[in-house]
Structure 1
């Protein structure tokens, strides 16, 4: 697999207080199997589809008590240089660039509006080994109450061209690299309770959105939105039993015409 262009979503992981429960849930909902955890890397455990790496789960470090949340990593050819750009543009580097064996170098950060994300400089581990197939990563959106800050920050740190959806009824922006659209940005409205922090909403592809939602809810997930059919697919937003938000989408089931977009 070729190294992804700078700024491309390339990996996702989440920290869970009960890793075994998370493995059971996502295994049932998305069809994941799991590799062996390695204590030298904090019991980081990769998830697989048909032998291809698609995500990872990890327990908190001793003393950590953070809300479970999916973290999206954006590709970088030089994590240290990206960390410098993050600071220069008003972001916060939460975890300094750190080499993880031969696998690569990671960095954790927040944009000026408070959105947490990761940076990954691939080594032997370049990121997702498959995307878009049922159970694998499909899409992601930055959810923020201060879109003007996110809109200035991300294209300054990564080589994104931005386009605004004109007639979608929501404040939604698309970030692209060359011909590829790689990331969305959604303004959080009053439908989000004040206690919900800004975050990156990670979508996983599924064969049937309604069946997946029913299975997830039956296993203790909470349905937050949908299922709804859009020009991009039928999707729904959920929180897993430990509170981590994620979405699922069946991109083969669509309805309506895509909104027009304008370069900004």
Structure 2
């Protein structure tokens, strides 16, 4: 799928994991991914679906003290300007902007709640080769692809202000603003790609929340059974929502992500 990423759009996801071999096997079996490592970039892994780049991966050797996790990267025309804006608007610069060969420039930030988010300024690597769509309650062309990106925030209003001011979100769309459910998408045009949910009611006390990635599958229930057989775990079992059937899960290393599909 050809798509021109707007500033602030999720454009890449990256797995940081202690056991890259097991991750390659797990996601290959679950989502049908292939993997190729690039020695010139420290063994960086590019995961592919149907030949399309869908995610990255790198080994967590423990040297930086960071946890195993998925990181969502948001597009930025100028990574340094975004990092400067983050520092000026209550965020943190965890990893200052640095070039990655001719691929582009990366940075990692913490938003005001402490949720981590990546920044990617395009070079020759222009983000996902393809991704799924999760719009209008339907998931299309999605099987095995990243399909939705969602910030679970303990400070919803401040998060929306931060991402507007720092990443340039232009036209966020409020889906719901009731005490039971507060949700805003990144922008109002389709495909919307992701959103922000007020998670203060269900996040553990003191948790900064964080960005979650949804991967599309044909049958959520069957995929969850496969995931468990492969050594993964279930945090919240399959359930119907107005946006499809979803489940919150974790890989064998405990890294959280979600699965989404249409089998309601």
How far, CA to CA, are the matches of 2:231 and 2:207 in structure 1? 20
Aligned to 1:4: 5
Task: Report whether the alignment pairs 1:98 with 2:98.
Answer: yes
How far, CA to CA, are the matches of 1:196 and 1:14 in structure 2? 21
- Cα separation, partners in 2 of 1:103 and 1:193, compared to 1, 3 Å: same
Task: Report whether the alignment pairs 1:60 with 2:60.
Answer: yes
Give the alignment partner of residue 198 of structure 2, picking from 175, 187, 191. Answer: 187
How far, CA to CA, are the matches of 1:162 and 1:149 in structure 2? 14
* SS state at 1:36 partner: strand
- Pairwise CA distance, 1:57: 1.2
Give the alignment partner of residue 146 of structure 1, picking from 131, 151, 155. Answer: 155
CA contact (8 A) 2:13 2:73 kept: yes
How far, CA to CA, are the matches of 2:18 and 2:247 in structure 1? 25
* SS state at 1:171 partner: strand
CA contact (8 A) 2:108 2:117 kept: yes
TM-score relative to the length of structure 2: 0.89
Aligned to 1:73: 73
CA offsets 1:187-217 (integer angstroms, 9 cap, x no match): 2245433475411011011111111111001
How far, CA to CA, are the matches of 2:249 and 2:106 in structure 1? 27
* SS state at 1:193 partner: coil
> Which ranges in structure 1 are unaligned for 5 or more consecutive residues?
255-264
CA contact (8 A) 1:159 1:177 kept: no
Aligned to 1:125: 125
- Pairwise CA distance, 1:167: 5.6
Aligned to 2:16: 15
Aligned residues: 252
CA offsets 1:98-137 (integer angstroms, 9 cap, x no match): 1111111111101101110101111111010010021111
- Pairwise CA distance, 1:62: 5.7
- Pairwise CA distance, 1:172: 2.0
* SS state at 1:102 partner: coil
> Which ranges in structure 2 are unaligned for 5 or more consecutive residues?
133-141
- Pairwise CA distance, 1:96: 1.0
CA contact (8 A) 2:203 2:209 kept: no
Aligned-residue CA RMSD (Å): 1.9
Give structure 1 regions of 4+ aligned residues with deviation exceeding 3 angstroms.
166-169, 177-180, 189-197
CA contact (8 A) 1:67 1:243 kept: no
TM-score relative to the length of structure 1: 0.89
Aligned to 2:209: 198
* SS state at 2:83 partner: helix
Task: Report whether the alignment pairs 1:35 with 2:36.
Answer: yes
Q: Which moved more, 1:62-71 or 1:141-150?
A: 62-71
CA contact (8 A) 1:99 1:106 kept: yes
CA contact (8 A) 2:154 2:203 kept: no
CA contact (8 A) 2:154 2:207 kept: no
How far, CA to CA, are the matches of 1:236 and 1:171 in structure 2? 20
CA contact (8 A) 2:240 2:246 kept: yes
* SS state at 1:21 partner: helix
- Pairwise CA distance, 1:184: 1.2
- Pairwise CA distance, 1:177: 5.8
